[in-house]
Amino acid sequence: MSHGESWKVGKVHLPFRVALQISWRSIQVRFGRAMITAAGTCLGIAFLVTVWTSIALQRGLATEPDEAVAMRQSWLVIMSLLVSAVGISNSMFMAVTERYKEIGTMKCLGAVDRFVVELFLIESGMLGGVGAVIGGVVGFLIVVLFSIAKKQWSAVVGMDWAYMGSYFVLAILIGIGISVLAALLPATRAAKLPPAAALRSDV
């Protein structure tokens, strides 16, 4: 680095591509823990998709959906998604506690608070995406296989596929969205850790 005349303070960067890579690596290395976090989203979205797949089937049969049943199911789905969110939040808070040294070190290397938030949110979003896709497929298959077992093959084939398709995508987005939101508080907590955290020998 040149000294003297050209010495003036500049800006630090974290290209998005690199942030993605770091977050993905973090998941790979702590795979077991990551899968448990993703399982939360997986189950919540699986439930959501079972409800929507049932509706798709009913629409295919031109059956009128039962209002009361729909209301109760909506309530259950919302609760289950909230439970997923709480689980994700808890998991991410634990991750912050465990990684205080890593975060402090990154700050010593020049990371600003925003980088830390970004890394945590991306990681949670990735897990949410993976969990939601798996959960969506599982939820879909549960309803479909159930129908087939009841010998209602034609109902499955005749379901409202347009409805199914768009709501499946919506379910994935909801899964990612909840994961990112649930990680918001832990991420801001992580971002507040001081660089000197890298020097501490205990939490």
Q: Give me the residues that bind another protein (CB under 8 A), please.
A: 1, 3-5, 7-15, 18, 22, 25-26, 28-29, 101-102, 104-113, 115, 194-196, 198-199, 201
- Choice between 158 and 195, CB closer to another protein: 195
In whole angstroms, the minimum distance from the beta carbon of 24 to another protein comes to: 9
Tell the burial category of 12 from Cβ atoms under 10 Å away from its Cβ (0-12, 13-18, 19+): exposed
Q: Write the CB contacts of 66 (distance below 8 Å, at least 6 apart in sequence).
A: none
- Choice between 106 and 178, CB closer to another protein: 106
In whole angstroms, the minimum distance from the beta carbon of 91 to another protein comes to: 17
Nearest alpha carbon to residue 125 among 176, 169, 88: 176
Residues 55 and 71: their CA atoms lie apart, in Å, by 13
- Choice between 102 and 160, CB closer to another protein: 102
Structure tokens at 95: 């991750």
DSSP 50-64: HHHHHHHHHHHTTPP
In whole angstroms, the minimum distance from the beta carbon of 111 to another protein comes to: 6
In whole angstroms, the minimum distance from the beta carbon of 181 to another protein comes to: 25
In whole angstroms, the minimum distance from the beta carbon of 200 to another protein comes to: 10
- Choice between 8 and 151, CB closer to another protein: 8
- Choice between 3 and 150, CB closer to another protein: 3
In whole angstroms, the minimum distance from the beta carbon of 13 to another protein comes to: 5
- Choice between 16 and 150, CB closer to another protein: 16
Question: In this structure, what are the phi and psi dihedrals at residue 12, rounded to the nearest 5 degrees?
Answer: -100, 155
Q: Write the CB contacts of 116 (distance below 8 Å, at least 6 apart in sequence).
A: 103, 106, 107, 187, 190, 191, 193
- The secondary element (H helix, E strand) that includes residue 78 is helix 67-98
